[in-house]
Amino acid sequence: MKFLVADDSSTMRRIIVNSLNALGHTDIVEAEDGAEALKNTTGVDFILTDWNMPNMDGLTFVKAVREKDKKTPIVMITTEAAKDDVITAIKNGVTNYIVKPFTMDTLKAKLEKIIK
């Protein structure tokens, strides 16, 4: 299973990638923003994206992906915790939502729920 991790913070990308590796997922592509991520969606089975990024934010990225691909699971991992933000993300095609900071157990639970 190939993952795409999009986050402008290299530290956060490293945390997510390390967590995925610990869960047995090692085929991972990284992107610093939504624009770069959009160029790397080919062959990806699962997308993890931040909301707040330069050039193209995560919500715009999700909308762009959903124009062509309705099936690939997308999890938004963000500091945006307001109920309205969660609803907006889900209405625009996010499969699930994780609020930062998060634990590996939270990530594992969300992934397992979607993958099964």
| pTM of the entire predicted model | 0.95
CATH of the domain at 35: 3.40.50.2300
Q: Is 68 exposed, middle or buried (0-12, 13-18, 19+ CB in 10 A)?
A: exposed
- What confidence score (pLDDT) does residue 116 get? 82
Q: Is there a domain that residue 72 lies in?
A: yes
Q: Which domain holds residue 80?
A: 2-109
Q: What are the tens digits of pLDDT across the range 42-66?
A: 999 999 999 999 999 999 999 999 9
- What confidence score (pLDDT) does residue 45 get? 97
Our count of domains for the chain comes to 1
Q: Is there a domain that residue 54 lies in?
A: yes
Average pLDDT, the chain: 96
- What confidence score (pLDDT) does residue 35 get? 98
Q: Is there a domain that residue 115 lies in?
A: no
Q: Is there a domain that residue 16 lies in?
A: yes
Q: Is there a domain that residue 93 lies in?
A: yes
Three-point CA angle 38, 39, 40, nearest 5°: 90
What mean pLDDT is predicted for residues 75-83?
92
- What confidence score (pLDDT) does residue 106 get? 95
The conformation of residue 29, written as its DSSP 8-state character, comes to: E
